[in-house]
């Protein structure tokens, strides 16, 4: 990379860390540190929520997913507006009026301490692992650019972000998120423009999109009833509804956001802002992935996007076999380009029959490219011993570092850092809050600790969770598409956590025994389904919530019904 790009990145990182740390003066008491004294405007909260969602996973993992399979992932977000409306009239006013620090405080008053503790523990485990995945995304970029090992790059990303979170609290998280959101959106738009300009002369946007459509990459509705298919209209409107209700309604990383708003109305508006804009922004990210596919149709791509594994195979005993594959790959890519150019030409002036024939020729050539690449991936897995090898996460960074001009590369790298830091800081803040409020302040000396002590413990907890997440990140980068990895992590826990809140609110006779037994049943059920079936992971959210509710109702009835009173609101 050019020194100008490095300068842009360095200046950005120094500025954003300084900007976060300077807000330390507004976080000298516990409510200011955790909830910004409940004083933030709705637009800042809304932008902060959106910045958290537009993580580096979105920029790297989702674009890679779009490159590989197209727009199908967008179906996962169809239930988001409905989920936000439901939460705006239910849990948002409930938690805001209860004056709680965490969502899990309510469960002790409604049920008992063991239910609160277990639910908070599930959150800490799920969010801690998910934060690791968020760190691994920019680590992928740095490993490609610098040739550093994943361990080093994960630590370089995770630990600096922890600094301004530790000292500035949620004030620093929110206001840095607002600034980072502008940079992220600018970066995405810049890449989209660069990709469109990268189309060859004689191939317009409409013709290119019809080529992508022929491969199925523009399909945004799949009405299949097969539960084993990951992304369908039904999994995105039913299974994902429970995912979003749990994530935005019971996950501390999101609940903490709207608890910082000035009022219930402003908290609602901040959520609805996300409901309006998430799907268009997600569509932009995925169409960038589709245009990357089109770019590499007309510009020869590498056979493998991960240069580390490419070099490893070249230096192995099977180097000659790899070289032969590369020759076949180059020939197949050239044939595919010719077929794509012919399809674009027929799209402009051919009749229906010639268009169909030219599209069929392109699809045949594309299948040949995929076939040779699949052989190369299989060879990498055999040579490296890594049975899970998947380089989809390297597509976006490869394009950025090899095809964008000087200066824009630096801005895109800064945008990826911004996306990572906005999500990491928010999640570290929520992990620290749940650790201190739901565990430390309830046991031992924490019961009588003053604000100064609680702040010190909170900052220590933030640092420890940053280390934990960095360790998780070391192996997360090789698990496949990052956007799927983080949602798989979440879907294992979210349904059960949501189920216990549904039980608390919707079934007045539920008691602590039922809630605790329901939580265990939900986790066991999801674990069994995930390990013994191929049901799409989005359905795990519904399965977990239903299991918790059904078992909770049965056990509550068997143990005498409700025995506690709800927390004051």
pLDDT single digits (tens) 1-40: 788 988 988 888 888 888 777 766 666 678 888 888 888 8
Q: What value does the mean pLDDT of the chain take?
A: 85
- Residue with the two structure tokens 């994902």: 240
User: What pLDDT digit, counting tens, does each position of 383-430 carry?
Assistant: 888 776 778 878 888 898 889 998 888 888 888 888 888 888 888 999
Confidence class for position 204, pLDDT limits 50, 70, 90: confident
Copy the structure tokens of residue 378: 């299989």
Query: How big is the chain, counted in residues?
Result: 569
Segment among 96-105, 189-198, 331-340 with least mean pLDDT: 96-105
What is the average per-residue pLDDT within 363-389?
88
Reduced to 3 states (helix: H, G, I; strand: E, B; else coil), residue 438 is helix
267 or 141, which is more confident: 267
| High-pLDDT (> 90) share of the chain, % | 27
State yes or no: pLDDT of 71 exceeds 80.
yes
User: What pLDDT digit, counting tens, does each position of 269-318 carry?
Assistant: 988 888 788 888 889 999 999 999 999 999 999 998 888 788 889 998 99
| High-pLDDT (> 70) share of the chain, % | 93
Confidence class for position 141, pLDDT limits 50, 70, 90: low
Predicted local confidence at residue 452, as pLDDT: 84
Q: What is the DSSP letter of 479?
A: S
Segment among 92-101, 147-156, 181-190, 506-515 with least mean pLDDT: 147-156
Segment among 123-127, 232-236, 416-420, 559-563 with least mean pLDDT: 559-563
- End-to-end Cα, the chain, rounded Å: 56
Q: What is the dihedral of CA 28, 29, 35, 36, to 10 degrees?
A: -40
Q: In the chain, how long is the greatest CA-to-CA distance?
A: 81
Q: Helix %, strand %, coil % for the chain, to 5? A: 80, 0, 20
Predicted local confidence at residue 179, as pLDDT: 85
Confidence class for position 120, pLDDT limits 50, 70, 90: very high
User: What pLDDT digit, counting tens, does each position of 440-456 carry?
Assistant: 988 867 778 888 888 88
Predicted local confidence at residue 477, as pLDDT: 54
State yes or no: pLDDT of 64 exceeds 90.
no
Rounded (5°) CA angle 245-246-251 = 125
User: What pLDDT digit, counting tens, does each position of 513-533 carry?
Assistant: 999 999 999 999 999 998 888
- What lies within 8 Å, CB to CB, of 387 at 6+ separation is 381
- What lies within 8 Å, CB to CB, of 506 at 6+ separation is 549
Whole-number Cα distances in Å, 199 to 218, 285, 350, 395: 18, 18, 21, 17
What is the average per-residue pLDDT within 150-167?
79
Predicted local confidence at residue 115, as pLDDT: 92
State yes or no: pLDDT of 564 exceeds 60.
no
Q: What is the DSSP letter of 300?
A: P
Q: What is the distance between the alpha carbons of residues 510 and 113, in angstroms, rounded to a whole number?
A: 15
Reduced to 3 states (helix: H, G, I; strand: E, B; else coil), residue 44 is helix
Predicted local confidence at residue 24, as pLDDT: 66
Long-range contact set of residues 378-386: C-beta below 8 Å, sequence gap at least 24: 379/313, 379/318, 379/321, 379/322, 379/325, 380/304, 380/309, 380/312, 380/313, 382/318, 383/312, 383/313, 383/316, 383/318, 384/309, 384/312, 384/313, 386/478
Q: What is the distance between the alpha carbons of residues 329 and 285, in angstroms, rounded to a whole number?
A: 28
Predicted local confidence at residue 47, as pLDDT: 87
Helices (H), 198-263: 205-214, 233-234, 240-250, 252-259
Copy the structure tokens of residue 245: 């209700």
Predicted local confidence at residue 566, as pLDDT: 45
Predicted local confidence at residue 568, as pLDDT: 39
Segment among 146-155, 293-302, 317-326 with least mean pLDDT: 146-155
Segment among 220-224, 449-453, 479-483, 505-509 with least mean pLDDT: 479-483
Q: What is the distance between the alpha carbons of residues 96 and 94, in angstroms, rounded to a whole number?
A: 6
Q: What is the DSSP letter of 216?
A: T
């Amino acid at each position: 990379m050019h020194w100008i790009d490095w300068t842009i990145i360095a200046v950005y990182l120094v500025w954003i860390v300084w900007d976060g740390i300077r807000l330390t003066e507004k976080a000298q008491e516990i409510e200011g540190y955790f909830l910004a004294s409940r004083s933030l405007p709705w637009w800042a909260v809304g932008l902060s929520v959106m910045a958290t969602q537009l993580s580096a996973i979105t920029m790297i993992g989702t674009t890679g997913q779009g490159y590989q399979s197209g727009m199908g992932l967008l179906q996962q977000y169809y239930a988001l507006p409905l989920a936000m409306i439901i939460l705006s009239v239910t849990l948002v006013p409930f938690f805001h009026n209860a004056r709680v620090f965490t969502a899990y405080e309510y469960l002790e008053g409604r049920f008992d301490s063991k239910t609160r503790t277990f639910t908070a523990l599930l959150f800490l485990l799920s969010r801690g692992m998910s934060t690791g995945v968020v760190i691994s995304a920019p680590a992928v970029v740095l490993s490609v650019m610098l040739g550093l090992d994943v361990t080093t790059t994960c630590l370089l990303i995770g630990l600096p972000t922890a600094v301004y979170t530790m000292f500035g609290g949620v004030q620093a998280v929110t206001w840095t998120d607002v600034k980072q959101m502008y940079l992220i959106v600018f970066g995405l738009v810049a890449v989209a423009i660069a990709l469109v300009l990268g189309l060859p002369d004689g191939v317009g946007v409409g013709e290119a999109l019809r080529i992508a459509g022929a491969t199925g990459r523009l399909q945004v509705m799949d009405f299949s009833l097969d539960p084993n298919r990951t992304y369908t209209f039904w999994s995105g409107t039913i299974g994902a509804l429970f995912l979003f209700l749990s994530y935005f309604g019971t996950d501390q990383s999101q609940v903490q956001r709207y608890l910082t708003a000035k009022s219930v109305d402003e908290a609602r508006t901040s959520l609805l802002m996300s409901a309006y804009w998430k799907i268009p922004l997600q569509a932009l990210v995925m169409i960038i992935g589709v245009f990357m596919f089109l770019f590499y149709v007309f510009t020869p791509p590498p056979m493998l996007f991960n240069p580390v594994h490419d070099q490893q195979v070249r230096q192995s005993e099977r180097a000659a076999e790899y070289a032969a594959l590369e020759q076949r790959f180059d020939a197949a890519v050239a044939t595919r380009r010719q077929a794509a150019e012919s399809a674009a030409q027929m799209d402009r002036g051919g009749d229906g029959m010639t268009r169909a024939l030219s599209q069929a020729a392109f699809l045949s050539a594309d299948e040949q490219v995929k076939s040779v690449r699949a052989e190369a991936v299989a060879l990498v897995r055999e040579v490296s011993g890594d049975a899970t090898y998947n380089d989809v996460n390297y597509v976006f960074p490869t394009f950025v570092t090899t095809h964008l001009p000087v200066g824009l590369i630096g801005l895109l790298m800064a945008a990826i850092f911004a996306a990572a830091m906005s999500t990491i800081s928010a999640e570290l803040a929520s992990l620290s809050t749940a650790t201190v409020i739901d565990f430390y302040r309830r046991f031992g000396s924490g019961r009588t600790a003053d604000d100064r002590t609680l702040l010190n413990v909170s900052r220590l907890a933030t640092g420890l969770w940053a280390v934990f997440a960095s360790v998780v990140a070391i192996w997360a980068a090789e698990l496949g598409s990052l956007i799927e990895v983080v949602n798989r992590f979440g879907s294992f826990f979210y349904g059960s956590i949501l189920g216990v809140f549904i039980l608390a609110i919707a079934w007045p006779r539920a008691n602590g025994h039922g809630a605790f037994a329901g939580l265990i049943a939900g986790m066991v059920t999801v674990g069994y389904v995930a390990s013994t079936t191929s049901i799409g992971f989005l359905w795990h959210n519904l399965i977990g919530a239903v299991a918790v509710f059904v078992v909770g109702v049965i056990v509550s009835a068997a143990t005498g019904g409700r025995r506690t009173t709800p927390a004051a609101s």
